[in-house]
Structure 1
């Protein structure tokens, strides 16, 4: 739990993933045969085998954030979102900037505003004018939504589980991996919430025979209105199709067969949204790619929820798939 808390607490909106990368590198340095950071900031670690093919797992390090656009005369801040966010989920939340300055997100004429839009929202950091506010923050500053870390038996409730929990799954899989004959690449990508560029360049560099994007997916067992059969606690999710990828049948079937072989609990996912897999599979001459996801409630909010049983099933699937894979 401590590692998950450390990962989810780290500051890391798209384009500012350095803190997360440093935590990951420190955590895996004694388990990987080689670790490097590429020009965009991706962390690429490899556990070498006997040269019988290359498998690549990819999880993104970045989280949803905000970008400061304007400081008004009255000291209030206007902002844009970094990644896709429902404006309603931001209302009354606390933003924390990298330098530790905090502010509350509000909306103009709240009692009358029935259609909340980002352009009508502002951040109040408690200053009375432009001069005082500009001494604390500047245009172009990045921030994230502040959250608590709550453990409720098997379930974790906090922000940035999208996708620090996927990063955790890769870290644990790498730590436990022994006896693999393929070269197993564990890639922690940047910019997934914005441009997917991290996955594109890292896949180009690794050029694996098979790739799996490891992320989170919407759970349909709450009242937030997400229509999916995916449920918390019912196992890892093997994606059939999402908005950016139809999982390659060879990879999808290999994951299903592996799960059945080792008694790993799984469920199928036909997902809204996309993962790093949407660009990995079109890299170079094409890479056989699928996605594996951890069910999550309230995505892109400060209080996302995952079940650790699903996380453990995801780790086991990735681990066994890497051990058994041969080209």
Structure 2
């Protein structure tokens, strides 16, 4: 199959500022991209973007989260340095010396207090330097409660993508491209671009309650076990999308898992099985909605998750788009 991707759209999706709780910019971009390919589209009270491809069958909810991890300012000292807390999962070792950007375009760098050992490094020891000399100067640019994200331009070549926010903008990109590919489905399809996943899978919980789907599928990144001395895991970059078996939020329903495997085999799409011993996805909330929803996850193998240089393979992205479309075009066996 051809592995040609819309790199311009992917770059735009990866570059836009939208941390948890402030997803307006990415939501607007996605809505403009898909509005001509769906029958209904709206934003709910929490900020989830819900797009429907109408059908006469059972309801399937497909979810990918729009938000990205970030840092929220908690204090500005007399010399203009900014203290912060995490919005989502942040590693102090990854944060240190990284560039960050605020919604208004202000750019800073993460510095640290003097340490005797890097083992003593914690978020409390870090600060953001925006080049201000006084609190008053800093407050002209940044306020308490403002959020910033890693600042690094996406790199896309013929083999890989390296960028912040691959978690989970890559899932959103795959959903967008699958929406464009699907012509007919035996289902009533709800594509939900969710908010606040990184701070507790919140958007998926409220949107699933409203939709009350018969089946749920999340698209999200997953870790790999293919780097030197990595935690043992049977997922590798370039070996195809990963069909989840379990993570800490979900035991995938056999009906959904087996349907994904069947479609991958039927259409000669490479795939791998994923057993993740930590983390979770939107399906962790979807499957517990109301009386319960059989749910699964299609995962995109990704190295260096929650850093400014998350890495995916072009072939895995392309095969994920193809497999997502095939999964939604075929009847799930009762």
Q: Same fold (TM over 0.5)?
A: yes
CA apart distance, 1:54 = 1.4
**Aligned 8 A contact 1:13 1:62 in 2:** yes
**Aligned 8 A contact 1:8 1:164 in 2:** yes
The 1:144/1:186 distance shift into structure 2, 3 A limit, reads same
Equivalent residue runs for 1:59-98 within 5 Å: 59-98=64-103
Scaled by the length of structure 1, what TM-score is found?
0.97
Task: Tell me how far apart the structure 2 counterparts of residues 228 and 116 of structure 1 sit (CA, whole Å).
Answer: 28
CA offsets per residue over residues 56-105 of structure 1, 9 Å max, x none?
A: 11000000000000000111110001001111111100110111111110
1:304 aligns with 2:310: yes
Equivalent residue runs for 1:288-327 within 5 Å: 288-325=294-331
Equivalent residue runs for 1:165-314 within 5 Å: 165-223=170-228, 225-271=230-276, 272-314=278-320
1:25 aligns with 2:67: no
**Aligned 8 A contact 1:55 1:184 in 2:** yes
Task: Tell me how far apart the structure 2 counterparts of residues 128 and 324 of structure 1 sit (CA, whole Å).
Answer: 61
1:30 match: secondary structure: helix
Structure 1: gaps of 5 or more residues: none
Task: Tell me how far apart the structure 1 counterparts of residues 314 and 271 of structure 2 sit (CA, whole Å).
Answer: 14
Task: Tell me how far apart the structure 1 counterparts of residues 234 and 259 of structure 2 sit (CA, whole Å).
Answer: 22
Aligned to 1:34: 40
Task: Tell me how far apart the structure 2 counterparts of residues 99 and 224 of structure 1 sit (CA, whole Å).
Answer: 41
1:133 aligns with 2:138: yes
2:149 maps to which of 141, 144, 158: 144
1:159 maps to which of 142, 161, 164: 164
CA offsets per residue over residues 228-265 of structure 1, 9 Å max, x none?
A: 12100000000001010000011111111111111111
Task: Tell me how far apart the structure 1 counterparts of residues 98 and 229 of structure 2 sit (CA, whole Å).
Answer: 18
CA apart distance, 1:301 = 0.5
Number of residue pairs the alignment of both structures matches: 326
Task: Tell me how far apart the structure 2 counterparts of residues 25 and 224 of structure 1 sit (CA, whole Å).
Answer: 41
Q: Once superposed, which parts of structure 1, at least 4 consecutive aligned residues long, lie more than 2 Å away? A: 110-115, 223-227
